[in-house]
Structure 1
Amino acid sequence: MVAFGVALAAGGTNAVAWADPAAGPAVATPISEPMIVGTDADGQTVTLTVGQELAIALPDNPSTGYRWQLADFDQGVMHQEGDPQFRPTNIMPGSPGTSVWTFTASGTGTTRLDLVSLPPAWQPGTPPAQHFSVNASVH
């Protein structure tokens, strides 16, 4: 009974709340899909929007002692989201798999993401076992 009284006081039983039609329909800004790249993107440029996620998936086998390492990059353009995650191809200990490095585009600009795979006893000046780079252009 109270709800009916409130409805009458607010304009009767035909009162319906509508959004202002002059303002146009509400439009949500779409969130960009994450971009996932692998070794086939080596040396390429990827174009991202601010807030978009970039995942770099590289072959890896930590049981060999080799580790991917990330060189310095412009953190005003891209932000690394935590440590890389290793995803083995099967459950057997020592199995190879994929290391996934996740970044978020944090500001407009361009930066280069360089990763190198280094052996456990790597000495400066020795070339890395593997190298991967991608240029990230954020708009």
Structure 2
Amino acid sequence: MAEISLGQQDAGGTRSARPGDLVRIHLEETPASGFRWQVEEFDQNVLEPAGDRFLPPPGVERGGRGRRELRFSVVGAGRGRVRLTLRRPWQGVEAAARRYETTIEAAPGS
């Protein structure tokens, strides 16, 4: 199993993977503003959500800027797109402050 780490610089790109790999997407977020990264779309034939957590900077407990880590397990071969939006949970997708999209190209396992 390989771990694939993606960030803002990888938006719009395609990464290679294999079933069993773990994809970690790290994006900047300030939860106190009410805006949080939300999963809007992913290909269930290729990816499965594997967790979501906020990582504050060292020494900061609450209220500050940090990173949201969204994890996906690669569960099948194929081309799977992930779409995320930075928005307030009570507002619709059209109110998103930012968007993130990446594609995972999963080759058949060995």
TM-score by length of 1: 0.70
Q: Name 2:19's counterpart in structure 1.
A: 50
Paired AA for residue 99 in structure 2? H
* Higher relative contact order, chain-length normalized (CA < 8 Å, sep 6+): 2
Which of these residues, 39, 51, 54, is aligned with residue 70 of structure 1? 39
- Structure 2: gaps of 5 or more residues: none
The CA deviation string for residues 74-123 of structure 1, in whole angstroms up to 9 with x for no partner, is 212011103x1100013242011000001111000111100000135524
- Structure 1: gaps of 5 or more residues: 1-30
Deviation at 1:131, TM superposition (A): 0.6
CA distance, structure 2, for counterparts of residue 55 and residue 93 of structure 1: 23
Identity in percent: 25
Q: Which runs of 4+ in 1 moved over 2 A?
A: 119-126
Calculate the aligned-residue CA RMSD, in Å.
Answer: 1.5
- The 5 A counterparts of 1:15-34 are 31=1, 33-34=2-3
CA distance, structure 2, for counterparts of residue 93 and residue 55 of structure 1: 23
Given the superposition, is the C-alpha separation of residues 123 and 78 from structure 1 closer, same or farther in structure 2, using an over 3 Å criterion?
Answer: closer
Q: Name 2:54's counterpart in structure 1.
A: 86
Point out the structure with max Rg over C-alpha.
1
Which of these residues, 69, 75, 83, is aligned with residue 114 of structure 1? 83
Paired AA for residue 68 in structure 1? W
Give secondary structure in 1 for the equivalent of 2:20.
coil
Paired AA for residue 122 in structure 1? Q
Which of these residues, 94, 97, 105, is aligned with residue 74 of structure 2? 105
Paired AA for residue 38 in structure 2? Q
* Count of matched residue positions in the alignment of Structure 1 and Structure 2: 106
Give secondary structure in 1 for the equivalent of 2:12.
coil
> Could you say which structure has the higher helix fraction?
1
TM-score by length of 2: 0.88
